[in-house]
Structure 1
Amino acid sequence: MKTRRAFLQNITMASAGLPFLTINASSLGNIYKSDDKVLRVALLGLGGYAQRVAESIQSCKRVKITGLISGTPDKLKTWSAKYNVPEKSCYNYQNFDSIKDNPEVDAVYVITPNSLHREFTIRAAKAGKHVICEKPMAINVKEGEEMIAACKKANVKLLIGYRMHFEPHTLEVIRMRNEGDFGQIKFFQGLCGFRIGDPAQWRLSKALAGGGSLMDIGIYAINGCRYMVGEEPIWVTAQETKTDPVKFKEGVDETIQFQFGFKSGAVASCLSTYNMNNLDRFFLNGEKGFAEMLPSTGYGPIKGKTNKGEINAPVVVHQTEQMDQMAGILFDGKKPVVPVDGEEGLKDLKIIEAIYKAVATGKKVSL
């Protein structure tokens, strides 16, 4: 989906004509002081999303890019010049471990295909650096557990790139739910998907992605269901539909519908697909009210309404807000409303494995 992968053209233009206020992170109730410690980050894997992150960091109050890691020499040269990173702080995948001797790097942000998350997270931890890892944090539960253990052993923190956990409209819905505005939650629907393009890309490789749509866009519905309902699911059922077995080979899912049940009695119905556009919607229904987010997880601007009217929350650049907030987590011990640690990432991996098991067996799987 072009809107999902393309860069934000201009956040001011994007919000023109909308009843939202476009502000930076410092206007969200976080008072940034001139003496706040700045998080110095090395970006690992200089692909399309890393470029979005890098551009967003330029507006951060507490984060700057001080290192680069890539297997492509030309990218290192171009990015080094663009972001003013010295050659001594540029690494390839072979000499990356020597980053342990670089005092100018506090954390490594792993932005590679899913199957490489484990390796580079563990190597970064052994080098004594905090780790920020893109989601899903790994391709299976075992790898996720190994990543958490490695970071604990090295006494570094592991954070997962859950940008929506800092998004103002999302946080407003969570606040309203916590305060009982919707009453007892009964139902959640999460629709996430787009028509994927290049059939040769890594997202359609079982070896690199660990699956298909569920490992990419589907995780938004899984994670979103958990933070919107405010509970962990206790069972899952799921069904897969595949219309193009050439493009979506064995082990690469095209479309999966999955359903959750919760201890409270709430239920959820979700869709993850690589074969349909116009799917970016969350709907939460309770005894006293509802919340709808449309779009719900795209790069912005997020829009939402409840039974009380439109959600007039600030519009932010998600990655800018995420990185500044993560600086606060790493240096100041701040606790986000919704966790972004390795344990949070592991919960999603356990659900993903259960969904794939439900697809394979046709049975309800307990969580």
Structure 2
Amino acid sequence: MPQKPEIPLPESESRRVGYAIVGIGELSSEELIPAARTSEHAYVAALVTGDPEKGKAFAHAYDLTEGDVYTYERFEALKDREDVEAVYIVLPNSLHREYTERAAKMGKHVLCEKPLSVNAADAQAMVDACRAAGVLLMTAYRCQYTPQHWAAREAVQGGKIGPVKLLDAIHGQVEQDPEAWRLKRDLAGGGPLPDVGIYCLNTIRFMLGQEPEWVLATLHQPQDDPRFREVEESMSFLLGFPGGVVANCLTSYGTQKTATLRVLGEQGTVLMDPAYTYQGLRLTLSDQHGDVQPRLPDEDQFGLEFDHFAQCIRAGKTPWTPGEEGVQDHRIMDALYQSARSGQVVRLERLEGRDVFRGEKPHVPSGSQ
């Protein structure tokens, strides 16, 4: 009789990596904590919040104790928690550096939401702090861990659509609340670019495995809309890659939700629509014979991140999207804002090779690697 395929089972809690979730807003409560509860290699061991009562309610709901809830002022008390080996930082962008440095000093590994910080200098300081402390730093780029994105990358880099010529990416949504922290420059570092536009930028770099050589950008910041007193509403930008490949990107806080990525080759195209959502990713491969939509599992993207980082911690290996990957996006975004101010093309340092900032290749379900 043929053998049944082995189904991976979760490790015991003593072997899995315990995380402290730092910030329990919407993303943590709706995505991260549920994802960790189904993880094979990770679990939530503690919560850090500015609202202790909210923290206690979450603790009771997820089999934690009130002693597992910490305020931001008591963050350093996690140093004595041997079961907390890593922190997942889910705070406004401007706080990422502070909490990464504080965690590194405690000897805790850091998984940090994107963007890594508010500019390249702060992001590099986070990398330096973790390196000096001997802990790992991973940027939470969930789109670099899904079966759909890896299948698209294989089609692009494996020659299935012929030589790549152009890419087109759009990520926009409506930001309604004028008081949202994402619309405060000091907290966010910018408008839609570092929040949703970064998916276009980062996923294109992932698809090609290459780094852009130049950028050109323009932005729109309406003067009569209270939401955009400090940041742009929309940005349009071009990325120039080796061999003449050009990517055209649009991002906005003023459009109906749109999340698409198209790669145009000489013999075919790759389309992801939607391309950046938490669930329901859809991939279409097209050539002269027609369209194909590969059947791929709709995995929990945050669970994949938790597991990959946990496995890297256990093995002492650099994660696929380390802090350096986040720093590079900040360098490019800093150049995009510079270009938008000057109206000129901004040249970037030319970097040879593929995946120059990435670490250990992740396990992708369904063998799509």
1:185 to 2:164 alignment: yes
Question: Structure 1-normalised TM-score?
Answer: 0.88
Residue 310 of structure 2 corresponds to residue 327 of structure 1: yes
Q: Which residue of 1 aligns with 2:148?
A: 169
8 Å CA contact 1:242–1:253 kept in 2: the answer is yes
**Alpha-carbon distance between aligned partners in 2 of 1:125 and 1:284, rounded to the nearest angstrom:** 39
Asked whether the 8 Å contact 1:242–1:248 carries over to 2, the reply is no
Residue 131 (structure 1) aligns with = 110
Identity %: 33
| Aligned mate of 2:73, from 83, 90, 94 | 94
Q: Partners of 1:280 and 1:244 in 2: how far apart? A: 26
What is the number of equivalent residue pairs in this alignment?
A: 338
Q: What corresponds to 2:323 in structure 1?
A: 342
Aligned to 2:211: 232
Contact in 1 for aligned 2:107/2:133 (Cα 8 Å)? yes
Aligned counterpart in structure 1 of residue 91 of structure 2, from 96, 99, 112:
112
Matches of 1:86 and 1:105, distance apart in 2 = 14
CA distance in 1, matches of 2:317, 2:105: 24
Q: In terms of mean alpha carbon deviation, does 82-91 or 66-75 score higher?
A: 82-91
- 1:57-110 Cα offsets, whole Å, 9 max, x none, are 121111111011111121221112112223333211111112111111010000
CA displacement at 1:245 relative to structure 2: 4.2
SS of the aligned residue for 1:226 comes to helix
1:307 and 1:362, CA in 2 relative to 1: closer, same or farther beyond 3 A? same
What is the aligned-residue RMSD (CA, Å)? 1.9
Equivalent-residue separation in structure 2 for 1:130 and 1:253 (angstroms) = 34
Equivalent residues of 1:122, 1:147 under 8 A apart: yes
Matches within 5 A, 1:19-34: 31-32=8-9, 34=11
Which one of the candidate residues 298, 307, 320 is aligned to 1:315? Answer: 298
Deviation at 1:34, TM superposition (A): 4.1
TM-score relative to the length of structure 2: 0.87
**Matching of residues 227-306 of structure 1 within 5 Å:** 227-243=206-222, 245-306=224-285
Q: Secondary structure at the match of 1:297?
A: coil
Give the deviation of 1:32 after TM superposition: 5.0
Amino acid at match of 2:341: A
- Which residue of the partner structure matches residue 13 of structure 1? none
Q: Does 1:154 align with 2:133?
A: yes
Q: Distance in 2 between the 1:85 and 1:167 partners? A: 29
**Aligned counterpart, 2:19:** 41
Question: Could you say if the C-alpha distance between residues 64 and 347 of structure 1 is closer, same or farther in structure 2, counting changes exceeding 3 Å?
Answer: same
Question: 1:133 aligns to what SS in structure 2?
Answer: strand
Shift of 1:160: 1.0
1:108 touches 1:132 (CA, 8 Å); kept in 2?
yes
- Taking the aligned partners of 2:327 and 2:224, their CA distance within structure 1 comes to 30
* 3-state secondary structure, aligned to 2:58: helix
1:359 and 2:337 aligned = no
- Which of 255-264 and 55-64 deviates more? 55-64
Aligned partner of 1:140 in structure 2 is 119
Give ranges in structure 2 of 5+ residues lacking alignment: 349-369
Residue in 2 that maps onto 1:55: 34
CA contact (8 A) 1:229 1:284 kept: no
**Whole-angstrom CA distance in 1 between matches of 2:243 and 2:227:** 37
Q: Distance in 2 between matches of 1:340 and 1:30?
A: 27
Distance 2:150 2:317 in 1: 16
CA 1:245 to 1:155, structure 2 compared with 1: closer, same or farther past 3 Å? farther
Which one is further off, 47-56 or 105-114?
Answer: 47-56
Q: What displacement does 1:206 show?
A: 1.1
The 5-angstrom pairing of residues 69-84 of structure 1 reads 69-84=48-63
1: CA distance between counterparts of 2:317 and 2:268? 31
Return the alpha-carbon distance in structure 2 between the equivalents of residues 198 and 356 of structure 1. 24
Contact 2:222 2:228 in 1 (8 A): no
Query: 1:353 deviation in Å?
Result: 0.3
User: Secondary structure of 2:226's partner?
Assistant: coil
CA distance in structure 1 between the aligned counterparts of 2:272 and 2:255, rounded to whole angstroms: 18
Superposed CA deviations along residues 7-44 of structure 1, whole A, max 9, x for unmatched, are xxxxxxxxxxxxxxxxxxxx9x9945646931100000
- Contact preservation (8 Å) 2:144, 2:203: no
Report the CA distance shift for 1:170/1:353 in structure 2 as closer, same or farther (over 3 A): same
Task: Tell me the distance in 2 between the aligned counterparts of 1:97 and 1:318.
Answer: 29
